[in-house]
Amino acid sequence: MPVIKGDTVKVMRGDFKGHVGKVRSVDTKKGRLEIEGVIITKVDGKKVPRPVHASNVVITKLNLTDPWRRRKLEEGLPEEVKKEIEKEAEEQIREMEEEEIKEEVEEVEEEEVKEEEEEAEEAEEIKEKVAEGMEKGEEIKVKEEEVEETEEEIKEEKEKEIKKAKKRTVKKKEEAKDLKKEEDGE
């Protein structure tokens, strides 16, 4: 079987001999793989993936999410083994969907944190400008109501974004549950 993204492999030769990890990407022209956990530290301190030649690994667990690959694997096998392969494939597909949902939730949370930090920086800048203006003796009139209104608007926008993110998360979870129910029902 050719190695594809998502296969679990064990490195048999080289500096990372014995390391087991999932294949992140495959460079078919060079015959090299990027494997989770196979990283090196460059002189400037950056950590980068270390490509491993495909001939130096052995597949320990197949990624069965590809229908063509499953068909090729099932050729000439008894029905019991085919059913086991299909169950394993369904489980892997479910795991992939759950990972995608988690990644989406993490991305939304990261975006929300960034937005909150930016808004806090903007508020701090406004406070600094007001303080500078008052120190210089400039006549600046700042109404607390305007500041409070701005803060309330910011809070409302944050709450809307959080609600949207929660709705998306709930929807994805419901879809995953429905998919699981359909699979269990079959």
Domain boundary assignment for the chain:
8-63, 109-185
52-53, strands of its sheet edge to edge? 52-53, 32-35, 20-27, 8-11, 57-61
pLDDT tens readout for residues 78-113? 888 888 888 888 888 888 888 888 888 888 888 888
Give me the pLDDT at residue 135, please. 60
Question: What would the pLDDT profile of 47-71 be if each residue is shown by its tens digit?
Answer: 999 999 999 999 998 888 888 888 8
> What is the pTM assigned to this prediction?
0.51
Average pLDDT over all residues of the chain: 85
| pLDDT at residue 17, as a whole number | 94
- CATH code for residues 8-63: 2.30.30.30
